Amino acid sequence: NAGVTQTPKFRILKIGQSMTLQCTQDMNHNYMYWYRQDPGMGLKLIYYSVGAGITDKGEVPNGYNVSRSTTEDFPLRLELAAPSQTSVYFCASSWGSSEQYFGPGTRLTVT
């Protein structure tokens, strides 16, 4: 099992550009999550999904969009990137409310 994979590992965006962060899990987990971690801070939940076709907002959803068309994939879309979106982004998955398995993270810089 590869677990949770995220691409890319690093990305630099210009203000106003758009991009999609990819997340895939091969553990057949029903729940998937997107977090951001700003320097020196804990993780903040952006969006989560309890199954294919179902998504919900977390604590900091503004400026982001998600979709969940399959169990395995949960891409995060950034539209009109802003410097405030500079952060490390983590994807995670779990079976219900059990342990979350995290991907390695994507470091995004918006300049």
Partner 1 sequence: AQTVTQSQPEMSVQEAETVTLSCTYDTSENNYYLFWYKQPPSRQMILVIRQEAYKQQNATENRFSVNFQKAAKSFSLKISDSQLGDTAMYFCAFMGVDMRFGAGTRLTVKP
Point out which residues bind partner 1 (CB under 8 A): 33, 35, 40-45, 48, 58-59, 88, 90, 92, 97-100, 102, 104-105
Select 14 or 99, whichever has its Cβ closest to partner 1.
Answer: 99
Select 16 or 32, whichever has its Cβ closest to partner 1.
Answer: 32
CB of 100 to partner 1, least distance (A): 7
CB of 38 to partner 1, least distance (A): 10
Residue 75: name the closest of 8, 28, 3 by CA. Answer: 8
State the alpha helices, DSSP H only, in 48-101: none
